Structure 1
Amino acid sequence: MYALALIVVFVLAVLLEWFKYGRVISPRWSRVVARLAQTAMHALRVGLAYVVMLAVMSFNVGVLIAVILGHAVGFLLFYSSVFKRPPLPDEESKGYLPPMACSC
């Protein structure tokens, strides 16, 4: 059960990175649909972030390592230039979720 819990926490951390950096919204969607999808994805991302935070707050070193490795693998897969295709000219401003940090 402990190994299964570590795998689930690892996958949650990878999913969190996918929601943070992955392309989710298609540029072909209408503005209203795109904004509704963006809102739903933001709520899901925040919910996953809280679940991962609660897992880390268990003060279990194995869970902490699984979360760190999950974030690292997710970052490598979804943000790093190792597996990333070059963006299309009009793609920089469309289809990506805003960053987690406030840009106030």
Structure 2
Amino acid sequence: MDMSPPSDMNMNMDMNNATMMKDMAMHMNFYWGREATILFPGWPNYNLGMYILSLFFVFFLAMAVEVLSNIPSRRFMNNSMIGGLVQTIIYTIRMALAYMVMLSVMSFNLGIFIVAVAGHGIGYFLIKFRQLTQQSQEAGNNNNNNNVLPK
């Protein structure tokens, strides 16, 4: 007795397998286009609006990594136990975000790569610009205090 499934069923299984293989195929080199899978299956799902949203998402993830990388540790040093715990939590969040950016870039989509690098660069610039502004203000205040002569 023949136990093989009917030919219609075989054809449906072949089509399902072909669709699944297409969805699972990964690019192994950089490419342009909105046909990307970023972090989650079905996202951005070949939709231009969702692709643009994913670009913004990766950009802000990369910026957040840089901001969290440059938080001064002296803010939390009032209590060493609480300071250590806060720094550990910030580090854990930073690493989780960094891995999400890395996995996004591993989609090999050139748009995602560009916004990730831009997010890291702009995040670094904003933090360093703020630090340099604070330093120059402190230096200006010290110079003003030194120029005042007592009577």
TM-score (normalised: structure 2) = 0.52
Shift, 1:58, TM fit? 0.4
Deviations 1:31-64 (A, max 9, x none): 1000000111111111111100000000000000
Correspondence for 2:127? 78
Quick one: higher RCO (CA 8 Å, sep 6+), 1 or 2? 1
Indicate the structure (1 or 2) with the bigger Cα radius of gyration: 2
User: Which residue of 28, 34, 52 maps to 1:3?
Assistant: 52
Shift, 1:29, TM fit? 3.0
Q: CA RMSD in A?
A: 1.9
User: What percentage of aligned pairs have identical amino acids?
Assistant: 35
- Which structure carries more helix by proportion? 2
In the alignment, is residue 33 of structure 1 matched against residue 52 of structure 2? Answer: no
Correspondence for 2:63? 14
Stretches of 4+ moved more than 4 A in 1?
none
In the alignment, is residue 59 of structure 1 matched against residue 108 of structure 2? Answer: yes
Deviations 1:45-100 (A, max 9, x none): 11111100000000000000000110010010012xx3321197xxxxxxxxxxxx
Shift, 1:16, TM fit? 0.2
5+ long unaligned stretches in structure 1: 89-104
* Aligned counterparts of 2:74 and 2:104: Cα–Cα separation in 1: 29
Correspondence for 1:49? 98
SS at match of 2:107: coil
* Aligned counterparts of 1:22 and 1:45: Cα–Cα separation in 2: 11
Correspondence for 1:92? none
5+ long unaligned stretches in structure 2: 1-49, 139-151
